[in-house]
């Protein structure tokens, strides 16, 4: 553990500063509950400037802190406009806290059914997240790729302009680029409704496991509902989406406000075809993230003329 702290010593923030920033973890400052514990807003003085922060306080049940160090390691090496930015961490007197820039206000899950998000905005959010995933999977100069393992609409945060920020790296793992298509044996970790079904068959994950989870998010964005609804009919969205795509009845499950808006049929077709391919049972047949970025940008490009026309007239 000492060697781990030494590696990230430049990110270490005294507990006294964190307590002052969050008013001693005042419940009034709670802005969310992450996978590790409560998240508190606050202001921290860094290099002579006040910075808005989101401080995630590790629950005491995570005594070993494996997830804590995993997230710090991941975020300290990943720099992308669509990934949350780490400021530092605190590991003192039994407290473990990860401090990020407080750039995002809410998570995507809170906006899935909200008509405030137009089709263009939804596409832009998907493009941003896809770019972040393409970066962690394929960025040049790294000898390893990062498999996120917990992609869902709750770990996708949105700032005031609805720009997405991917979070939730506490379960991420590194995998050799040279062996990226080989299974990395690992226990099944993730959120119900998003997990790659191939994990149970193979005993592990690949970067294509992230593709499956992201495919579920794409269907959430289109349908305006969560991947898993415990007490509802059609509890799981993934099999429902596959059924309606194969039956050519996607309109029946699309978010109503989208059905009623002016959509480019070519844009929707490009989007649904891609989202369907992400859910393929065979990992090798799922698209990679670079292709996903390309197709989503195409879907956005196909929709933009409709937006310009209806705004103008």
Instruction: Report DSSP letters for 26-43, one per residue.
Output: -GGGEEEE-SSSEEEEEE
Does one domain contain both 222 and 268?
Answer: yes
CATH of the domain at 50: 3.30.200.20
Does one domain contain both 296 and 215?
Answer: yes
Report d(CA 307, CA 266) in Å as an integer.
Answer: 14
Does one domain contain both 84 and 118?
Answer: no
Total number of domains constituting the chain:
2
Report d(CA 301, CA 287) in Å as an integer.
Answer: 20
Q: Are 175 and 207 in contact (CB under 8 A)?
A: yes
**pLDDT tens digits, one per residue of 127-186:** 999 999 999 999 877 889 999 999 999 999 999 999 999 999 999 999 888 887 888 888
**pLDDT tens digits, one per residue of 247-274:** 999 999 999 999 988 899 999 999 999 9
> Which pLDDT belongs to residue 1?
45
Q: Are 120 and 299 in contact (CB under 8 A)?
A: no
Does one domain contain both 116 and 213?
Answer: yes
Per the structure, the complete domain to which residue 98 belongs is given by 2-102
Q: Which of 76, 102, 128 is the last residue of a domain?
A: 102
Does one domain contain both 151 and 61?
Answer: no
- Of 136, 217, 145, nearest to 176 by C-alpha is 145
- Of 137, 200, 209, 171, nearest to 67 by C-alpha is 171
Does one domain contain both 207 and 290?
Answer: yes
Q: Which residues of the chain have pLDDT under 70?
A: 1-5, 34-35, 61-64, 308-313
| Dihedral sign, Cα of residue 128, residue 130, residue 133, residue 137 | negative
> Which pLDDT belongs to residue 2?
46
> Which pLDDT belongs to residue 312?
39
Does one domain contain both 229 and 206?
Answer: yes
Average pLDDT, the chain: 91
Global pTM value: 0.93
> Which pLDDT belongs to residue 310?
46
> Which pLDDT belongs to residue 223?
98
> Which pLDDT belongs to residue 4?
54
Report d(CA 148, CA 174) in Å as an integer.
Answer: 9
Q: Are 44 and 99 in contact (CB under 8 A)?
A: yes
> Which pLDDT belongs to residue 184?
87
């Amino acid at each position: 553990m000492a060697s781990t702290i030494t590696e990230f010593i430049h990110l270490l923030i005294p507990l006294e500063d964190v307590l002052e920033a969050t008013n001693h973890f005042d419940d009034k400052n709670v802005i969310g509950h992450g996978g590790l514990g409560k998240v508190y807003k606050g202001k921290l003085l860094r290099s002579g400037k006040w910075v808005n922060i989101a401080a995630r306080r590790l629950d005491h049940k995570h005594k070993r802190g494996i997830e804590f160090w995993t997230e710090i390691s991941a975020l300290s090496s990943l720099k992308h406009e669509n990934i949350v930015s780490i400021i530092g961490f605190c590991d003192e007197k039994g407290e473990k806290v990860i401090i990020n820039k407080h750039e995002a206000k809410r998570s995507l899950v809170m906006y899935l059914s909200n008509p405030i998000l137009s089709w263009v905005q939804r596409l832009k959010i998907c493009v941003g997240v896809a770019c972040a995933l393409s970066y962690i999977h394929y960025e040049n100069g790294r000898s390893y790729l990062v498999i996120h393992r917990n992609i869902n609409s709750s770990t996708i945060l949105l700032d005031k302009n609805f720009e997405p920020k991917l979070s939730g790296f506490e379960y991420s793992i590194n995998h050799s680029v040279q062996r990226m298509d080989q299974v990395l044996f690992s226990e099944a970790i993730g959120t119900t409704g998003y997990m790659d079904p191939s994990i149970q068959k193979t005993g592990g994950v690949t970067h294509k496991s992230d593709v499956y989870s992201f495919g579920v998010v794409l269907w959430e964005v289109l349908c305006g509902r969560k991947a898993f609804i415990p007490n509802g009919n059609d509890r799981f969205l993934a099999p429902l989406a596959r059924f309606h795509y194969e039956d050519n009845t996607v309109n029946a499950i699309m978010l109503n406000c989208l059905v009623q808006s002016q959509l480019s049929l070519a844009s929707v077709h490009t989007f649904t075809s891609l989202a369907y391919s992400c859910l393929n049972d065979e990992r090798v047949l799922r698209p990679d993230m670079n292709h996903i970025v390309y197709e989503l940008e195409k879907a956005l490009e196909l929709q933009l003329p409709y937006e310009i026309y209806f705004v103008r007239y």
